[in-house]
């Protein structure tokens, strides 16, 4: 069993598992942090951005004025943002049989994998994962296509030039593999390969393995996967949460007894407690509004935003924010809010019961009804006429490089009354803010990451007891900034197997058994004999047929009756004389009783010698040795066949025959 690691990102994994002749890709996350190296794409012409000076190396030898712009001491690529894809050279992507998706954040690279690679397999995902994943992809494409850039910067990627560049650009790896965003057509084509599955539904893959999604409690429809054959079980744990938020709670018990557990998607903020962060979010929001400022929340259009809105629903009354407008701006805002209300079966118990009342499971419906929350596809159109300040705006993209958020950053960045509150943990907020410097606006970082923390995961692993754990190497040491926190890492016995991008791991686990079926008629012919109470054995002669990874024992086809041939062509054609199979023997020879029997048969002079494995009986008169051992009996006598036969029969008396 091998694991190919195509992404080193711990929360945006992309691994391929080769197991029992199947090739299974586990998630295909897209690392979007590469976009932080690019200039923001403004929706409205930004004089500030357009006036940024181009970059020329200090000695003037390299002039990339057109491609690179300088802002507050950092250099950005002025081009359509590009993403860092999962590794595509490590193995032939066309050989992948299936892709298992665990949540909508971990499928954003799907079009890069399934399109133009010769991929012919199937993608499995739950319905909310597919639908919300589609929304996120649609949004991403929309953000990019809305602001087309004519030029595409490539010169800076030249190895010689990149080496000379300042700051983070110089250290960016594999920049040649970075790709621009896919098109809507590619998205549709990729998603057409998705087959929907429900929690605990078992899907057979070529008869070799069975895969099954389990609720992981992280987001709507998010799942962990069990990949098992009859005798082996691999668990794949991706973004999971034990907190009580909107999704169905995590199914932990089904992960028990795994041979290998692949662990990814732990919290990126191990020291930030989501509850504390939520409180921080609310108090900073209230503080800004009270002082007459606006609040900008860069966020994804699905996920934590539902919890944020729910929390605000309770908070706005108590904080006297009843009259403050809340805006949610995204090309898919409407769909996201509506979708969340219809996936009742994927929600936590509390929300499910609301549906039967009937009430919308999420309170944002009421916020919309009472006009406290308004949603718009973009800042153009209705929004511009209804926009009132001070207000709270939720909009994407959290990287601050594209989407409507760019406009608000430009609009509000100059006033210290306004606040930008980062809630998504995927991007470093300082890097995200870099092209907006100098910035007067207040910045608050309250990353809300509900995924498992190290404390929870060690408790979980103690409970489910996997034999081996495989995890990204980041989880095997404390974070760089908090090297003294030995509790912020996985401490397991045996130690977990770490992986990084491009690793190929041989999973330490040998297949020892296969399940073999026996046909009924063959089974009928068996004659079991009991060797000890409750255990019977029988001999079987059969033909083993292996097809579609299934093994079956069939009766031996009877030799066709030999047609009386007139001519004997060859002696060899004669069917071999089938001798009746010798019975199988079992049991042990009791020494005392055996000696007594020997005596009865006139053998009296026996010298018994004890050995490590049993006894050696020396029949002195007959000059014969009998070695009685645990797994064999030997009679050594020279040229006295009758004696040997007699002795053999005496031994056989004590053994059971099948």
Partner 1 sequence: MDSQCVSTLPRVCGVLLESGSSLPDDTSLEKLLDWFTTIAQTGASLLEACPCLVDFVSKVAFNHASGSSILSFTLKLTGLIGTSEDGFKVLKECSVLKLVFNPHHWQEAGLWGDPCLRIGWIQGLKMILQHSEALSFFAQEDLIEPLLQLQTDSSLFVASAANQTLAQVLLLCQSLSSVGHNCSKNRYLEHNSVSIETTQNYSGIITRVSEYLNKSVVLKEISQLPGCQQILRLLAMLLVQVGPPLRDTLLLAVMNSLEELVTTSCSQLTVPLMDVILAANSGLRDDFVPKQRLIRLLWVMLNMKKPAIVMQAAAAVLHSHHSDPTFSAHSARVLLLPLDIVTGVSLLDENSTEEELRILITEQLKRKSCISMICVCLSNIPQITLMASDHLPCPQRLIVTAVLMLLRLCCVDSSSSSAGCVEVVRFITGNSKVQKCALEALLVLSKSPGVKMVLVDVFKVLTEYLNSPSSDPSVLQKSYQAVIKWVGVCPDLSCITDQLREGFIQAVRKRACDTRWEARDSTVEFLGHLGGAPSCRSFTEQETEPSDVFLGGCSFTVPLLKEALQDPESYVRASSISALAQTLTPSWQEGAALTQEQEDIVTRLQEVLFQDSEGFARRAAVKYFIAWLSACSSPSSCWLLMQSVPTVLSQGVNDLDWEVKLHTLELAELLLDQAFPDPSPSHPYAVMSDQAHRLHIAGQQSDLLSSLKDLVDRGVVSALLCGVVDCDRPVALKACQLLLKLRGVVCPVMGNAADTRVFCQLAEGSVMQQVRKIQAMGKDTYVVSEACSEADKEGICASVDPERVGVCEVLRLLDLDEKLSILTQSSDHIYNSPLSLLQDILTAAAASSQPGRDLHQELVMDCY
Binding site for partner 1 (CB under 8 A): 271-273, 276-280, 282-287, 290, 311, 315, 317-320, 446, 481-487
Q: Please state, in angstroms and rounded to a whole number, the distance separating the CA atoms of residues 650 and 611.
A: 21
Min separation Cβ 285 and partner 1, Å: 8
Cβ-proximal residues to 595 (8 Å cutoff; 6+ apart), any chain: 606, 608, 617
Q: What angle do CA 373, 376, 379 make, to 5 degrees?
A: 120
Element (H, E) at 518: strand 516-518
Min separation Cβ 283 and partner 1, Å: 4
C-alpha distances (whole Å) from 131 to each of 6, 102, 163 are 25, 13, 42
Burial of 179 (0-12, 13-18, 19+ CB in 10 A): middle
Min separation Cβ 484 and partner 1, Å: 4
Min separation Cβ 10 and partner 1, Å: 21
Closer residue to partner 1, CB minimum distance, 16 or 460:
460
Q: Please state, in angstroms and rounded to a whole number, the distance separating the CA atoms of residues 329 and 298.
A: 10
Closer residue to partner 1, CB minimum distance, 65 or 487:
487
Query: How crowded is the C-beta side of 131, counted as CA atoms within 13 Å?
Result: 18
Closer residue to partner 1, CB minimum distance, 481 or 506:
481
Closer residue to partner 1, CB minimum distance, 95 or 483:
483
Q: Please state, in angstroms and rounded to a whole number, the distance separating the CA atoms of residues 247 and 250.
A: 9
Closer residue to partner 1, CB minimum distance, 4 or 315:
315
- Closest among 30, 29, 31, 25 to 100, alpha carbons compared: 25
438: cis peptide before it, omega within 30°? Answer: yes
Closer residue to partner 1, CB minimum distance, 36 or 297:
297
Min separation Cβ 459 and partner 1, Å: 14
Closer residue to partner 1, CB minimum distance, 260 or 286:
286
The token duo for 512 is 């020892």
Q: What angle do CA 606, 611, 614 make, to 5 degrees?
A: 80
Closer residue to partner 1, CB minimum distance, 320 or 384:
320
The token duo for 300 is 């994804």
Closer residue to partner 1, CB minimum distance, 280 or 404:
280
Q: With helix as H, strand as E and coil as C, how does 64-104 read? A: EEEEEEEECCEEEECCCCCEECCCCCCCCHHHCCEEECCCH
Min separation Cβ 454 and partner 1, Å: 10
Beta strand 326-329 pairing with 373-376: parallel
């Amino acid at each position: 069993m091998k694991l190919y690691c195509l992404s080193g990102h711990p929360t945006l994994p992309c691994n391929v598992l080769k197991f029992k002749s199947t090739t299974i890709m586990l998630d295909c996350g897209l690392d979007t942090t590469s976009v932080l190296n690019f200039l923001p794409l403004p929706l409205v012409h930004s004089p500030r951005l357009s006036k940024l000076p181009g970059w020329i190396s200090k000695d003037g030898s390299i002039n990339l004025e057109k491609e690179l712009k300088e802002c507050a001491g950092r250099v950005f690529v002025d081009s359509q943002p590009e993403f860092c894809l999962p590794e595509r050279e490590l193995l032939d992507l066309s050989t992948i049989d299936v892709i298992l998706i665990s949540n909508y954040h971990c499928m954003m690279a799907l079009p890069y994998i399934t399109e133009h690679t010769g991929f012919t397999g199937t993608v499995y995902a739950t319905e909310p994962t597919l639908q919300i994943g589609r929304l996120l992809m649609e949004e991403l494409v929309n953000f990019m296509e809305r602001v087309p850039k004519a030029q595409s910067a490539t010169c800076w990627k030249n190895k010689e030039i990149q080496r000379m560049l300042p700051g983070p650009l110089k250290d960016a790896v594999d920049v040649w593999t970075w790709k621009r965003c896919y098109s809507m057509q590619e998205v549709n084509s990729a998603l057409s390969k998705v087959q929907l599955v429900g929690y605990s539904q078992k899907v057979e893959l070529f008869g070799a393995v069975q895969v099954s999604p389990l609720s992981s409690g992280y987001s709507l429809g998010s799942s962990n996967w069990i990949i098992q054959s009859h005798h082996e079980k691999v668990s794949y744990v991706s973004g999971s949460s034990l907190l009580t938020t909107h999704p169905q709670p995590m199914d932990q018990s089904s992960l028990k007894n795994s041979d290998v557990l692949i662990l990814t998607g732990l919290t990126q903020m191990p020291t930030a407690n989501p509850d504390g962060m939520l409180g921080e979010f609310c108090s900073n929001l209230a503080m800004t509004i009270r002082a007459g400022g606006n609040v900008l929340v860069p966020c994804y259009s699905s996920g934590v935003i539902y919890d944020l809105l729910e929390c605000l629903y309770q908070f706005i009354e108590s904080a006297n924010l009843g009259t403050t407008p809340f805006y949610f701006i995204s090309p898919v805002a409407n769909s996201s809010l509506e979708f969340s209300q219809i996936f009742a079966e994927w929600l936590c118990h509390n929300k499910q019961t609301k549906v039967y009342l009937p009430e919308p499971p999420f309170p944002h419906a009421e916020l919309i009804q009472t006009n406290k929350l308004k949603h718009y596809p973009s800042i153009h159109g209705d929004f511009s006429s209804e926009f009132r300040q001070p207000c709270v705006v939720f909009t994407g993209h959290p990287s601050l490089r594209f989407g409507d958020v760019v406009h608000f950053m430009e609009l509000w960045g100059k006033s210290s009354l306004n606040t930008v509150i980062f809630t998504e943990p995927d991007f470093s907020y300082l890097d995200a803010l870099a092209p907006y410097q100098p910035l007067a606006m207040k910045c608050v970082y309250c990353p809300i990451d509900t995924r498992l923390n190290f404390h929870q995961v060690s408790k979980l692993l103690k409970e489910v007891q996997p034999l081996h754990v495989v995890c990204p190497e980041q989880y095997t040491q404390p974070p760089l900034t908090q090297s003294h926190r030995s509790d912020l890492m996985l401490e397991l016995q045996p130690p977990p197997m770490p992986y990084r991008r491009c690793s190929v791991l041989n999973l330490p686990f040998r297949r020892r058994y296969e399940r073999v079926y026996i046909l009924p008629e063959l089974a009928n012919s068996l004659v079991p004999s009991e060797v000890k109470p409750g255990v019977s054995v029988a001999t079987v002669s059969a033909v083993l047929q292996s097809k579609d990874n299934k093994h079956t024992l069939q009766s031996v086809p009877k030799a066709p009756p030999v047609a009386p041939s007139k001519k004997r062509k060859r002696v060899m054609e004669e069917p071999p004389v089938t001798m009746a199979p010798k019975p199988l023997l079992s049991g042990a020879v009791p020494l005392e009783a055996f000696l007594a029997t020997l005596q009865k048969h006139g053998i009296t002079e026996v010298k018994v010698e004890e050995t490590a494995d049993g006894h050696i009986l020396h029949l002195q008169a007959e000059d014969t040795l009998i070695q009685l051992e645990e797994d064999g009996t030997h009679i050594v006598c020279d040229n006295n066949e009758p004696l040997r036969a007699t002795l053999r029969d005496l031994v056989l008396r004590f053994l059971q025959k099948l």
